[in-house]
Amino acid sequence: MTGLTVTDLRVVYPGRPPVVAVDGVSIEVAPGEVVGLVGESGCGKSTLARAVCGLVAPAEGSVEFDGEPVTPLGLRRRSPGLTRVQMVFQDPYSSLHPRRRVGAQIADGTRAAARLSGADRPAPAEWLERVGLDPGAARRYPHEFSGGQRQRIAIARALAAEPGLLVGDEPISSLDASTQATVAGLMRELTVAAGAGLLFISHDLSVVRLVADRMVVMYRGRIVESGPTAQVWNGPRHPYTQALLGAVPLPDGLGTLPAAPPDDVEYPLEPVLHQ
């Protein structure tokens, strides 16, 4: 089995009572496939992303990448195979090291890839060019760039490690609206071109609609609807998905107030799976 396979994953945070953040989720991301994961705050989508990268330990179930279990990140260097799962975080202000040159940070990714196979790698400058930045920027520091540019650098660093799976946890939510679609599109193009899978997590449904092949909707730690993006977007069948899509305000200039579901409504947890 190649790509990512998550089976019946449960993640529990300790507390009184314990918080079940992810409650029996199964999801697959094949190489070259873009899966969009949507849901509101607290639905468990970030926890799922962190479990996929080994940043939190599952309570039950398994996370496997290319048939190898993803072990929780410890103090020691993880097995080289797992550097093939890379992550792009939400906030490019805290995910880049402020005191290291951008080129050096991208070279970290390149080095991770070189440990797997010794072939020649593109230089950091070339990666910068691929994400649409000036190749001369390699000598500069993160503070010299705007938010959108930094996120491009974070994407370049992740892709330089030649991942088999790229996980983006809200990678566009801290960017200006006008650059969101471009950065999301760039992520898709570069990941698919490299033959890697992309798990794209976002609360912005209109962008997910554009870049994802498959769309997965999470609610209260579970997947409530999943299927090809066009099908889910055009014909949502789960009441929660319907409420979520109905609440998105569209910039069409018509002054249509989005539908507001009542505050205390509880949706069924039975999933709807499109073919």
Q: Tell me whether residue 59 or residue 210 sits nearer to other proteins (CB atom).
A: 210
Please, what is the minimum distance in Å from the beta carbon of residue 118 to other proteins? Answer: 30
The binding site for other proteins (CB under 8 A) comprises 40-41, 129, 132-134, 147, 176-182, 184-186, 188-189, 203, 205-207, 209-211, 243-244, 246-261, 263
Residue type, 203: H
Q: Tell me whether residue 256 or residue 275 sits nearer to other proteins (CB atom).
A: 256
Q: Tell me whether residue 188 or residue 214 sits nearer to other proteins (CB atom).
A: 188
Please, what is the minimum distance in Å from the beta carbon of residue 98 to other proteins? Answer: 19
Q: Tell me whether residue 120 or residue 263 sits nearer to other proteins (CB atom).
A: 263
Q: Tell me whether residue 75 or residue 250 sits nearer to other proteins (CB atom).
A: 250
Please, what is the minimum distance in Å from the beta carbon of residue 134 to other proteins? Answer: 7
Please, what is the minimum distance in Å from the beta carbon of residue 38 to other proteins? Answer: 10
Please, what is the minimum distance in Å from the beta carbon of residue 107 to other proteins? Answer: 21
Q: Say how many CA atoms lie within 13 Å of 191 toward its Cβ.
A: 35
